[in-house]
C-alpha cells in the first residue's frame, strides 16, 4: 500500500498549518483554565524564561505579519486570463479566507498572547498595563541602543 504524499503548495501548507492550530487552541483552553483555577502553577523563574521566549516569538510573528501585508495586493502577472487567474489565486492564498497565510499568522499571534496570559496566571504574575508598557518600551529601547534615554526613577 502506497502512502499519499502531502501536497506541498503554499496553499496546502497554510491549510495544514491552520488545521494544526485548532487542536493546540483547544489544549491551551484547558491549560488556561487550570492556570486560572490554581491547578497549574509555575515557578517565577521558569515563568520569566517562558515569557521572554514568548515575547521573542510574538515579535517575530508581528514582523512577519507587518512584512506580509504587501501580499494582500493583486500581482501584475499580465493583462490576460492566465495572469489574472494566477494573480487571484496567489492573493487568495495569502489573504483570502480563514485558511489563508495572513489570517493564520494572526491566529498564531493571538494564541501567543493567550499563552502569555496563561503563563502569567500560572505563576501568579499580574502586572498593570502601565507596568507592561514600561517593560515593552525599555526592551525596545535596548534593542536600538537607547538605554540611557530611559532612566526612570521608581
- The percentage of the chain sitting over the pLDDT mark of 70, rounded to a whole number, equals 68
Residue 62 has pLDDT above 80, yes or no: yes
User: CA-CA-CA-CA torsion for 33, 36, 37, 42, nearest 10 degrees?
Assistant: 100
Q: What is the pLDDT of residue 54?
A: 92
Distance CA 57, CA 53 (A): 6
C-alpha cell read off for 67: 512584512
Confidence of residue 49 (pLDDT cuts 50, 70, 90): very high
Distance CA 8, CA 12 (A): 6
Residue 114 has pLDDT above 70, yes or no: yes
The arithmetic mean of pLDDT across residues 83-111, rounded, is 76
Distance CA 21, CA 112 (A): 11
The arithmetic mean of pLDDT across residues 33-60, rounded, is 87
- Per-residue HEC secondary structure of 49-66 comes to HHHHHHHHHHHHHHHHHH
Q: What is the pLDDT of residue 96?
A: 67
Distance CA 91, CA 86 (A): 9
Residue-level length of the chain: 154
**What is the residue-averaged pLDDT of the chain?**
75
Summarised one tens digit per residue, pLDDT across range 128-152 is 556 667 777 877 777 777 766 566 5
Note the pTM of the prediction, 2 decimals: 0.58
SS3 33: helix
User: CA-CA-CA-CA torsion for 27, 31, 37, 42, nearest 10 degrees?
Assistant: 180
Q: Which residue has the higher pLDDT, 95 or 56?
A: 56
Residue 53 has pLDDT above 80, yes or no: yes
Residue 122 has pLDDT above 60, yes or no: yes
Q: Which residue has the higher pLDDT, 134 or 44?
A: 44
SS3 153: coil
Give the Cα-Cα-Cα angle 5, 108, 106 (nearest 5 degrees).
Answer: 110
Q: What is the pLDDT of residue 98?
A: 65
Residues 100, 88 contacting (CB under 8 angstroms): no
Amino acid at each position: 500500500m502506497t502512502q499519499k504524499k502531502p501536497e506541498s503548495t503554499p496553499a496546502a501548507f497554510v491549510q495544514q498549518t491552520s488545521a494544526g492550530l485548532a487542536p493546540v487552541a483547544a489544549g491551551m483552553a484547558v491549560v488556561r483554565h487550570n492556570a486560572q483555577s490554581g491547578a497549574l502553577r509555575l515557578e517565577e523563574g521558569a515563568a520569566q524564561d517562558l515569557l521572554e521566549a514568548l515575547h521573542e516569538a510574538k515579535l517575530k510573528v508581528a514582523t512577519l505579519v507587518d512584512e506580509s501585508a504587501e501580499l494582500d495586493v493583486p500581482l501584475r502577472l499580465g493583462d490576460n486570463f492566465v495572469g489574472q487567474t494566477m494573480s487571484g489565486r496567489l492573493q487568495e492564498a495569502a489573504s483570502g479566507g480563514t485558511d489563508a497565510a495572513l489570517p493564520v499568522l494572526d491566529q498564531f499571534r493571538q494564541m501567543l498572547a493567550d499563552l502569555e496570559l496563561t503563563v502569567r496566571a500560572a505563576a501568579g504574575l499580574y502586572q498593570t498595563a502601565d507596568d507592561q508598557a514600561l517593560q515593552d518600551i525599555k526592551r525596545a529601547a535596548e534593542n536600538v541602543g537607547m538605554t540611557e534615554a530611559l532612566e526612570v526613577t521608581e
